[in-house]
Structure 1
Amino acid sequence: MLDLTITEVRLTPILVADPPLLNTQGVHQPYTPRLVVEVVTADGTTGVGETYGDTKYLELARPFAERLKGRQLSDLNGLFTLADEVAVDASRVEDAVDVGGLRGVQTAGKLRLSVVSGFEVACLDALGKALGLPVHALLGGKVRDSVEYSAYLFYRWAAHPAGVPCEQDDWGAAVEPAQVVAQARRFEERYGFTSFKLKGGVFPPDEEIAAVRALAGAFPGRPLRLDPNGAWSVATSLRVAQELGDVLEYLEDPALGTPAMAEVARRTGVPLATNMCVTTFAEIREAFTKDAVQVVLCDHHYWGGLRNTGQLAAVCRAFGVGVSMHSNTHLGISLAAMTHVAATVPDLHHACDTHYPWQAEDVLTERLTFTGGRVAVPEGPGLGVELDREKLAFLHRRWLADDGSLRDRDDAAAMRITDPQWTTPAVPRW
């Protein structure tokens, strides 16, 4: 008989190489923190999960992990009650901006959900292994055999600033339309992506309009998206929507907050998507009743795991709101989890976002692959992936060796290495 009592929880903070990708707040640091969570049961089954690794998440994950020991692996609902019992340092979240997700003010509740997400995935992975079932079966079963992803295009520098320890890549710079198109062609050739999303809010809107127009000319009829992370005013958002309305699949978070998004939505026919003004269930009512968004970009790291993501999708379906998937810098554990839950969502009519092609490092024995822009849904027990302990140990040693400057993501601090006068721009920026 299986003994699914959790007897051990391992937390491994790591630093993963990250390219110099630009966004409205600055530039990615050369390494980004992630946290790998492992739960071990009395009968020796191990499950793995992944979430943000910044200090504020780690400080909550440690006491949470201690409380998890002795509980049943299948008590997934209890994870949320357990998280509520763990105190959150108010100084770390009060008026703090969630730089990694660029989703506005970080609250204690949002912090807890992001921590729970890593543990829930680890528990589902272990439960699937114990029962001999893939995670998608534990979520009710898949409705598709593969999940489509979109190429995530970024303005970027060719390299991190001189003198900054980092890993090099061969992607080159992308700061003008022709270079953005070249980046997109490379994504198409390497991974078969057929839709493209550009991270905006970096340059004045006219320059980003030109880049999207260049993409439309190079890839006629392909779905295109633009995401300035709330950097524009309502007036600017409306102007960009008018300029690009004939080529955009949707415009993502052009203005900051539900009232501004509702005003933009009221005055344009371009669908609006969000991963900023709808990131908890409490935020749904205002956004949906005001018709502020037409597509919600779900993210199991935001919503507390895979099962909550499924509940979100059901609410969206009831309101006639579309669903896609948000991405932040993540490894293969999260991509596998994203693929499992996306496979169970009936009305997933938009390709999902993923940073995975940008991440040259991973903690899996074998990287997940894209074929025709799609990832096949893993059919092995649990997540269907295997942890590479040598790679995990290497990335953990990098975290241990860091002086603390990289253990919390800070895009503005990274930008100040090049521009000492840089401060996080006020919103709206344009």
Structure 2
Amino acid sequence: MDTALIVDEVRITPILIADPPLLNTQGVHQPYTPRLVIEVVTRGGVTGVGETYGDGKYLRIARALAQVLPGRSVSDLNGLFSLAAEVSGDPAGTVASVDAGGLRGVQTADKLRLSVVSGFEVGCLDALGKALGLPVHALLGGKVRDRVEYSAYLFYRWAEHPDGGEPSAGIGARDDWGAALDPEGVVAQARRFERDYGFRSFKLKGGVFPPDEEIAAVRALAEALPGRPLRLDPNGAWSVDTSLRVAHELRDVLEYLEDPTSGMERMAVVAARAGVPLATNMCVTTVPEIREAFRRGAVQVVLSDHHYWGGLHRTRELAAICRAFGVGLAMHSNTHLGISLAAMTHVAATVPNLDYACDSHYPWQTEDVITARHVFRDGRLEVSDAPGLGVELDRDALAALHRRWQADDGTMRERDDAAAMRKADPEWITPAVPRW
């Protein structure tokens, strides 16, 4: 074993990053959201970086995994999964339920561990690539495209947070997007995405307003941007009947309808009659969920997310399964920073059957922990050929965002869209599904 590739130290840094007041069916994003930056340092003096969710339940496993990783090779990626199970107190992987939070469908302890492992795997791949002088995509088998296409992620949103929260001076740029609460606002948002980033496909986060209002917004987008691929994602907020009605009314303009209703049973019923492909990042997020979904034809597009699936190698495994069953593949986005976007771009570059433009929240994020922000040109990102991920950690920014996390009283360390909404509406509770 090459001792230079042995892990010497793992640094875990929880941070809070500014997040705009983006609306979804659960509520609204808080002024800050937690992320976790992972640094894997080798005995050879190379540091690799990874990123994942930063809520306390992820942080606890990450800290435990960081304690036991030193002494192992950065190439031992398969070993991360058993280590994570051991440190979480479930070596057999038998614990079935845990509240992992977010709009992720049914939650399990395994899903929580996979999201932690993803950050460590990316950190190890970054370190390995730097040590060998190879880009991460080369470690995954080599790129099949030089640029990866991304889609504009449209949100209903307020002009500002209910409590006036905004990025602290000197850390991030001020959010200047303004409100988007009707079809005109959504179209204006899309036009800015097109002008500033060159995006050519557009996804609207729905489940916020009654379905007829969201139908009107998609229709307005189709009229303003004729021929452009459009997507709508209400995060499972609708009943079967509502899902079918929306699908029928928008089937001539939607590229796909994402998670219109909750659960495999309802999705299968809708898929059989919708007349438009159904996509998911809620009912198929782990391998055990694939069999039933594909057998029942419940989804026609899987939105992979390397955080959900446990890293880049397992994302490629998912892509191979989708290819074998003729199921489309896209990529889901969370509130990620530049490290995760780099990782996402590397794995996307290696997947032959990437059938759709990838999602990305990145244009909404005014803060980052890398020295040079990613730049979208014509809605695409160039695939870096530099060793590792091709990004450099901005230690001053990382320290500032960590100080914000340290100073927080605990209210922002756990993402809670319903709690943020209650600042505007004290009576708000997370709506039961189906909501409409």
CA-CA distance at 1:161 after TM superposition = 1.1
Q: Which runs of 5+ in 2 are unaligned?
A: 169-173
Match of 2:11 in 1: 10
Q: Give the deviation of 1:293 after TM superposition.
A: 0.4
Structure 1 counterpart of 2:332: 326
User: 1:143: which partner in 2?
Assistant: 144
- C-alpha separation in 1, matches of 2:112 and 2:57: 8
User: In 2, Cα distance between the equivalents of 1:153 and 1:25?
Assistant: 16
Question: 1:130 and 1:39 mapped to 2: Cα distance?
Answer: 12
Aligned partner letter, 1:317? R
- Tell whether 2:260 aligns with 1:259: no
User: Does 2:371 correspond to 1:370?
Assistant: no
> How far does residue 106 in structure 1 lie from its aligned partner after superposition?
2.1
CA positional deviation for 1:163: 4.5
Instruction: Give the whole-Å Cα distance in 2 for the aligned partners of 1:54 and 1:12.
Output: 12
Amino acid at match of 1:148: E
- Residues in 2 aligned to 1:310 and 1:165: alpha-carbon distance in whole angstroms: 38
What one-letter code is carried by the residue in structure 2 that aligns with 1:183?
Q
- 1:237-283 Cα deviation digits (max 9, x unpaired): 00000000000000000010111111001112200000000000000
Question: Which structure 1 residue ranges, 5 or more long, are not aligned?
Answer: none
* 2:203 alignment partner in structure 1: 197
Identical-residue share of aligned pairs (%): 75
What letter is aligned with 1:158? A
Q: Shift in Å at residue 368 of structure 1?
A: 0.7
- The structural deviation recorded for 1:165 is 5.6
Name the stretch that deviates more: 280-289 or 168-177: 168-177
Q: TM-score, normalised by structure 1?
A: 0.97
Give the structure 2 partner of residue 213 of structure 1. Answer: 219
Amino acid at match of 1:271: P
Write the distance in 2 (CA, Å) between the matches of 1:421 and 1:132.
Answer: 56
Match of 2:287 in 1: 281
The answer on 1:34 being equivalent to 2:35 is yes
State the distance in 1 between where 2:26 and 2:100 align.
Answer: 11
TM-score, normalization by structure 2: 0.96
Deviations 1:22-69 (CA, angstroms, capped at 9, x unpaired): 000000000000000000011101100000000000011111111101
Write the deviation string for residues 96-151 of structure 1: whole angstroms up to 9, x where unpaired.
2622xx01232110000000000000000000000000000000000000000000
Aligned partner of residue 278 in structure 1, secondary structure: coil
Residue 44 of structure 2 corresponds to residue 47 of structure 1: no
Of the candidates 302, 317, 322, which is equivalent to residue 316 of structure 1? 322
Q: Output the CA distance in 1 between the equivalents of 2:129 and 2:390.
A: 9
Structure 1 segments of 4 or more deviating over 6 A? none
* Residue of structure 2 in register with 1:98 after alignment: 101
**Secondary structure of the corresponding residue to residue 390 of structure 1:** helix
Pair 1:97–1:43, CA change in 2 (3 A) = closer
Report if the CA contact (8 A) 1:12-1:35 is conserved: yes
In structure 2, C-alpha distance between the alignment counterparts of 1:93 and 1:104, rounded to whole Å: 14
**Counterparts of residues 35-184 of structure 1 (less than 5 Å):** 35-87=36-88, 94=97, 96=99, 98-99=101-102, 102-164=103-165, 166=167, 168-184=174-190
For the Cα contact (< 8 Å) 2:148–2:381, is it kept in 1? yes
Letter in 1 for 2:194: E
For residues 269 and 131 of structure 1, the distance between their equivalents in structure 2, rounded to whole angstroms, comes to 49
Secondary structure (helix, strand or coil) at the match of 1:260 reads: helix
Maintained 8 Å contact 2:18/2:166: no
Counterparts of 1:3 and 1:166, CA distance in 2: 40
Mapped to 2, the partners of 1:209 and 1:108 lie a distance apart of: 36
Give the counterpart letter for 2:238 in structure 1: W
State which of 296, 306, 312 in structure 2 corresponds to 1:306.
312
Distance in structure 1 (CA, Å) of the matches to 2:282 and 2:51 = 21
Mapped to 1, the partners of 2:274 and 2:413 lie a distance apart of 41
Letter in 2 for 1:376: E
The structure-2 alpha-carbon separation of the partners of 1:270 and 1:39, relative to structure 1 and needing over 3 Å to count, comes to: same
Cα offset, 1:95, TM superposition: 5.5
Contact residue 230 and residue 427 of structure 1 kept, 8 A: yes
SS for the counterpart of 2:425 is: coil
How far, CA to CA, are the matches of 1:330 and 1:346 in structure 2? 24
The amino acid that maps onto 1:362 is D
1:342-400 deviation per Cα after TM superposition (whole angstroms, max 9, x unaligned): 00000112000000000000001100110000000011000001001001001000000
1:230 aligns with 2:241: no
Give 1:54's aligned amino acid. D
**How far, CA to CA, are the matches of 1:163 and 1:172 in structure 2?**
13
Shift of 1:87: 2.2
Root mean square deviation, CA, Å: 1.4
Whole-angstrom CA distance in 1 between matches of 2:384 and 2:377: 14
CA distance in 2, matches of 1:174, 1:104: 27
Mapped partners of 1:78, 1:110: distance in 2: 17
Contact persistence 1:310–1:345 (CA under 8 A):
yes
Instruction: Give the Cα separation in 1 of the matches to 2:275 and 2:113.
Output: 36
